[in-house]
Amino acid sequence: MKKIIIFGGYGNTGKYLIDYLYDNIDTNTYKLIAVGRKKIDRPINNKADYISMDIVNRESFDVFDGNDIYAVINLAGAMPAQTKENDPYIYINTNVIGTLNILDFCVKNNVDRVIYPQTEADLSGYWNKEKLIKPDFPRKYELTENYGVYVTSKCTAVDLIKYYNMVFGLKAFIFRCPTIYLYKSNPYYYVNGEKRMLGYRKLIQDAIEGRDIELWGDPKREKDIVYVKDYCQLIYKALFVNKNFGIYNVGTGVGVSLQEQIEGIIEVFCQEDKKSKIIYCPLKDNAREFIMDISNAKDELGYEPKYDYISYLKDFKKNMLKDVNNK
């Protein structure tokens, strides 16, 4: 059987991806292998084998049987939102050294293709200047910004992938990711080492409890909101497309206004007898406004988003209730 290796396969996105791939690939032809640092004895949902290893350590790749590896998906990135300490070595070791080790492993084992998620922060210089973010915009970000080392590490990883594509013929597909919306049991993240609740999770929790919800700034400002299952669809498409290289935005190509975002959360999560009220705060900070241009993903990969904003919220709620009921 041909193997598809998912580094970071036990992370939040990885679990959704394994479910999606298992449901869509020919399981008689392809075998899924998830890889992570955690020590886990059982397969993930009985849909993928699991291997514990550290991509920063070159020798740890010896755990693999190098035969018949078709593709590698590298989700094993270090990012500020998941890191309490803003230690630059975390980003360099995992995102640069780890990626280089994976690429070297791919070439040595005749892997057909590699897939990698890039941060959209490499285009932060266009934020609040260009509403439509195009996949072929040249990089534009300030090294002096918060997490400049993180963004640089991701850009370096992309450049290494380009090098291995051009020199060794390793097919490569890069996905520029904004926030990927999904349900996970832990609703917290870090900002400069400070633990905070994800903004959209706080809105959902307020709606569940029927509390008033503040709407800051201009209610008409739009944001592209992409659900994790559409992101998984993009990765699936890249696994089998007959191309050598591509850089694509992750998104829906459709903006959802802040007014629509909050109204949707109230519609899906509020109890009928305890509806949240919207409190308008026009003097508070505006939300960032952007839409991801996904035209080349549609043309080259055949990608068509399946989840609009309300269907994403409903699927999120279904997964949340399933998690609560299983505890």
Question: pLDDT tens for residues 224-237?
Answer: 999 999 999 999 99
For residue 145, pLDDT beyond 90: no
Which residues 6+ apart lie within 8 Å of 31 measured at CB?
1, 2, 3, 4, 49
If pLDDT is split at 50, 70 and 90, which confidence band does 66 have?
confident
Quote the percentage of the chain above a pLDDT of 90: 83
- List, in order, residues 6 or more apart from 101 with CB less than 8 Å away: 55, 56, 57, 58, 61
Q: Which amino acid is at 216?
A: W
Question: How confident is the model at residue 147, as a pLDDT?
Answer: 83
pLDDT computed for residue 316 by the predictor: 98
Task: Note the pLDDT of residue 228.
Answer: 98
The residues with which 52 forms a beta bridge, in sequence order, are: 36
The domains located in the chain, with CATH, are 2-182+223-253+290-301 (3.40.50.720)
Candidates 227, 208, 99; CA nearest to 164 is: 99
Q: What is the mean pLDDT of residues 106-131?
A: 96
> Is 309's pLDDT higher than 60?
yes
What pLDDT, on the 0 to 100 scale, is given for residue 327?
A: 61
Residues with Cβ within 8 Å of residue 196, at least 6 apart in sequence: 188, 189, 190
Indicate the residue type of 294.
I
Reading the block at residue 214, the tokens are 């503040």
- Write out pLDDT tens, residues 176-204: 999 999 999 999 988 877 899 999 999 99
Residue 28 CA to residue 164 CA, distance in Å, equals 30
Distance CA 5, CA 32 (A): 6
Other Cβ atoms less than 10 A from the Cβ of 129: the count is 7
Rounded CA-CA distance 75/94 in Å is 11
Q: In Å, how far are 20, 180, 185, 308, 325 from 320, measured between CA atoms? A: 18, 16, 8, 18, 9
Task: List Cβ neighbours of 194 (8 Å cut-off, separation of 6 or more).
Answer: none
What is the arithmetic mean of pLDDT over 211-231? 97
What pLDDT, on a 0 to 100 scale, did the predictor assign at position 44? Answer: 57
> Looking at residue 43, what is its pLDDT?
58
Predicted confidence at residue 326, as pLDDT, reads 74
